[in-house]
C-alpha cells in the first residue's frame, strides 16, 4: 500500500515544479494601473460636468410647448421675466437698431442678429434672418416666440454671445441681462437631451471600468 505523502514532501514537490521563468517575471505594473484609474476618473468627472452644464438645456427640452405671454417687452417687469426663465414665451416689442451684432453659423445659410429692446439695456432678442432678406432695409419683427434665458444660460450655441457683443459694440451687456432666442422651442432643444444621456452613459461606463480594475487588484 503506497504511503501518503506528508505536507513537507508536497511543498517540496511544488517548489520543484515552479517555473523559474515565471518567477523572473516583473510584478504587475502598478504605476500604469494607477494612471489608468486616474484617466478613467478624470473622464468620468468631465462627463458629469458636461451633464451639469447641460441641465438647463435638458430642462427646457422637457418644458411645456405652450408659450407664456409676457406682454410688451419695453414695459414687462423683471419679476415677470424671472418667473418665466428658461421657458417658451411670446412677447411683442420694438428692437433697437444700434448696439446689436450680426453673426453667422457654420453650415447655415441664414444669418442672425442679436439686438436690444428699444428703451432697455437688460433685455435682448436673438433673431434669425432668412437667407436673401439680409440687407440694409431689413427690419426686425415686432412679435417674438422663443426661449427666455439669462445670457449666461443661453445654451451651447449662444455661449460667449455677451462677450462678442461687448467686443463688437464697445459697450458690454449688463450682468444677468435677459435674452429671448426667437424661434427656439423645446422640441428644437431635444438634441441636448440626447447629448446629456451620452455623457451620462460615458460617466457610468468609466465608473464601472474603475470598479473592475480596483476589484481585480484586491
Q: Name 75's Cβ contacts closer than 8 Å, sequence gap at least 6.
A: none
pLDDT tens per residue across span 111-126: 898 999 998 889 999 9
**Grid coordinates representing 12?**
517540496
55 shares its domain with 135: no
Confidence check: pLDDT of 86 > 90: yes
Number of Cβ within 10 Å of residue 67's Cβ equals: 18
115 shares its domain with 202: no
Instruction: For residue 41, tell me if it sits in a domain.
Output: yes
Nearest 10 degrees: Cα torsion 154, 119, 134, 151: -10
pLDDT tens per residue across span 185-195: 999 888 999 99
111 shares its domain with 33: no
Q: Domain of 91?
A: 66-184
What Rg, from alpha-carbon coordinates, does the chain have?
Answer: 30
81 shares its domain with 146: yes
According to DSSP, residue 95 is labeled B
**Between these two residues, 7 and 166, which has the higher pLDDT value?**
166
Instruction: For residue 172, tell me if it sits in a domain.
Output: yes
Residue 72 belongs to domain with CATH number: 2.40.50
Instruction: For residue 9, tell me if it sits in a domain.
Output: no
49 shares its domain with 108: no
90 shares its domain with 165: yes
Instruction: For residue 95, tell me if it sits in a domain.
Output: yes
**Grid coordinates representing 13?**
514537490
Residues comprising the chain, all counted: 218
Average pLDDT over residues 90-104: 86
Instruction: For residue 142, tell me if it sits in a domain.
Output: yes
Instruction: For residue 210, tell me if it sits in a domain.
Output: yes
Q: Give the model's pLDDT for residue 33.
A: 80
164 shares its domain with 208: no
- C-alpha 119/C-alpha 99 separation (Å) is 12
Candidates 80, 94, 102, 100; CA nearest to 173 is: 100
**Using an 8 Å Cβ cutoff, are 209 and 40 in contact?**
yes
- C-alpha 214/C-alpha 211 separation (Å) is 5
Q: Give the model's pLDDT for residue 20.
A: 65
80 shares its domain with 121: yes
Confidence check: pLDDT of 207 > 50: yes
72 shares its domain with 97: yes
Q: Give the model's pLDDT for residue 18.
A: 55
- C-alpha 9/C-alpha 15 separation (Å) is 10
Q: How many domains does the chain divide into?
A: 2
120 shares its domain with 194: no
52 shares its domain with 100: no
Instruction: For residue 22, tell me if it sits in a domain.
Output: no
**Between these two residues, 175 and 29, which has the higher pLDDT value?**
175
Q: Which of 8-12, 29-33, 130-134, 143-147 has the lowest mean pLDDT?
A: 8-12
pLDDT tier at 164, thresholds 50, 70, 90: confident
According to DSSP, residue 143 is labeled E
pLDDT tens per residue across span 1-58: 445 555 545 445 545 555 566 556 565 567 778 888 899 999 999 999 999 989 999 9
72 shares its domain with 175: yes
Amino acid at each position: 500500500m503506497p504511503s501518503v505523502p506528508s505536507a513537507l514532501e508536497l511543498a517540496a514537490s511544488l517548489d520543484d515544479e515552479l517555473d523559474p521563468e515565471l518567477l523572473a517575471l516583473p510584478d504587475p505594473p502598478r504605476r500604469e494601473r494607477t494612471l489608468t484609474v486616474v484617466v478613467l476618473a478624470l473622464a468620468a468627472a468631465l462627463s458629469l460636468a458636461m451633464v451639469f452644464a447641460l441641465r438647463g438645456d435638458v430642462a427646457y427640452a422637457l418644458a411645456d410647448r405652450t408659450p407664456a405671454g409676457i406682454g410688451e417687452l419695453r414695459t414687462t417687469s423683471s419679476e415677470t421675466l424671472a418667473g418665466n426663465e428658461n421657458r417658451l414665451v411670446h412677447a411683442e416689442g420694438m428692437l433697437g437698431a444700434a448696439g446689436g451684432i450680426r453673426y453667422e453659423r457654420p453650415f447655415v445659410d441664414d444669418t442672425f442678429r442679436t439686438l436690444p429692446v428699444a428703451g432697455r439695456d437688460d433685455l435682448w432678442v436673438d433673431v434669425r434672418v432668412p437667407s436673401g432678406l439680409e440687407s440694409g432695409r431689413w427690419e426686425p419683427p415686432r412679435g417674438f416666440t422663443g426661449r427666455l434665458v439669462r445670457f449666461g444660460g443661453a445654451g451651447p450655441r449662444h455661449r460667449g454671445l455677451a462677450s462678442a457683443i461687448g467686443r463688437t459694440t464697445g459697450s458690454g451687456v449688463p450682468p444677468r441681462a435677459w435674452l429671448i432666442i426667437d424661434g427656439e422651442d423645446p422640441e428644437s432643444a431635444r438634441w441636448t437631451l440626447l447629448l446629456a444621456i451620452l455623457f451620462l452613459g460615458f460617466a457610468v461606463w468609466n465608473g464601472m471600468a474603475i470598479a473592475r480594475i480596483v476589484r481585480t487588484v484586491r
